[in-house]
Amino acid sequence: MNYVDGFVVPVPTAKREEYRKLAQTASAVFKDHGALTVVECWGDDVPEGKLTSFPMAVQRKDDETVVFSWITRPSKEARDAGMKKSMEDPRMDHDPAAMPFDGKRMIFGGFQIIVEA
């Protein structure tokens, strides 16, 4: 089965278009280095929780929106090789201070698919 990288990040709502453009570039890089799909989702119905929630997990501020994203690849090995190549790709060379989100509050991880319907 495929392998999935998942991401959740708070993005300033006013920087939606800037984030979308960055995500569009990144998606091309990931696809060029073996990704099968890249999906970026702008939060539309992401409620605050009482104990846990997406907003709480990323310490979302009032002027931010939660973004939920994932990348699928053929295998963990393909992900490891593709992510290394993607991070070395000059199109991904961005000044961290100029990014349209706070990367320190990004949650990410790799996941093995156990059910796919």
Which residue is listed with tokens 């992510």?
A: 83
Rounded CA-CA distance 42/45 in Å is: 9
DSSP string, the chain: --EEEEEEEEEEGGGHHHHHHHHHHHHHHHHHTT-SEEEEEE-SS----SS--HHHHTT--TTEEEEEEEEEES-HHHHHHHHHHHHHSGGG---GGGSSS-GGG-EEEEEE-S---
36 found inside a domain: yes
The tally of domains found in the chain comes to 1
Within a domain: 49: yes
Q: Is 100 a domain residue? A: no
Count, residues in the chain: 117
pTM comes to 0.93
Residue 102 lies in a domain: no
Q: 43 with 68: CB under 8 angstroms?
A: yes
Model pLDDT for residues 61-114, shown as the tens digit of each residue: 999 999 999 999 999 999 999 999 999 999 998 888 889 999 999 999 999 999
Kindly report the average pLDDT of the chain as a whole number: 96
Is 117 part of any domain?
no
Give pLDDT, residue 64. 98
Query: Is residue 17 predicted with pLDDT exceeding 90?
Result: yes
CATH code of the domain containing 31 = 3.30.70.100
The domain containing residue 14 runs over which residues? 3-88+107-112
Instruction: Tell me whether residue 94 is in a domain.
Output: no
